[in-house]
Homo-oligomer: A and B are copies of this chain.
Amino acid sequence: MQDQHIASAFDRDLEAIQAQIMKMGGLVENAILEAAISLETRDEERAERVRKGDKAIDELEELINEEAARVIALRAPTAVDLRLVLSVIKVSANLERIGDYAKNMGKRTSVLSQMAPVNDSAGALRRMAKEVERMLKDALDSYVARDAELAQDVIDRDTEVDQMYNALFREFLTFMMEDPRNITACMHLHFIAKNIERMGDHVTSIAEQVVYLVTGTTPDENRQKADKTSLQA
């Protein structure tokens, strides 16, 4: 009976932390979309709200870390339970980084709004961001449901994001060569593209946590990395 009490107290604690993770995830999803829309519509005020909103995301990460440490100290979980508590620390760290990238996108929107638009680049970036936001939603759903299959699906979809980034990298190079007046804008747009691609990496890392939690093994470490631009001449 005593054991059962302890177990369910732990479960309640864990559920409470996971609720905070979902709250944090919701804020981050929103930040990705809002940052992308601000960029496309050249809406500086909206971008400013994304920048300011990052504080709440950072605070949630700190809170989740404290809660996780408290649960470990109080319940002394072992084996799978411990793995679960440690995973919230990793997942919240990934969410915090994604939030940072969205914030950085918000900053660059203020600069880019002062410059002439470069083709439909902002639209392409918004579509790429939307894809990452969908992946994040599924990664968090897979986390709560301990659904390794959905998590693996998220991991596979990151290849598409990498391919979108590759195409944009080539496009920006072309725009810069065609007209040097595009150079500054393209540098910023390229950074945004790279940051969205990195968001995808962090989403993938969350999904990999899920696979590890459910199956006890890390997903294929040698998966093809589809961002080839660092090898591009």
Contacts and interface: CB of A to CB of B under 8 A. Distances in A.
A82 B72 contact: yes
Contact of A111 (B93, B173, B231): B231
Contact of A187 (B79, B108, B190): B190
Interface in A11-35: none
Interface of A is mostly: helix
Interface stretch (A36-44, A123-131, A138-146, A175-183): A175-183
Of A107, A184, A187, the most chain B CB neighbours within 10 A belong to A187
A154 B79 CA distance: 37
A104 B184 contact: no
Contacts of A233: 111, 114-115, 184
A184 B176 CA distance: 10
Contacts of A69: 82-83, 86
B191 A183 contact: no
Contact of A107 (B79, B86, B177, B231): B231
Interface residues of A, number: 38
Contacts of A82: 69, 72-73
B180 A231 contact: no
A159 interface: no
A32 to B, nearest CB: 17
A226 interface: no
17 contacts: A62-B218, A65-B86, A69-B82, A73-B77, A76-B76, A86-B89, A93-B93, A107-B230, A107-B231, A111-B232, A111-B233, A173-B183, A173-B184, A176-B176, A176-B180, A176-B183, A180-B180
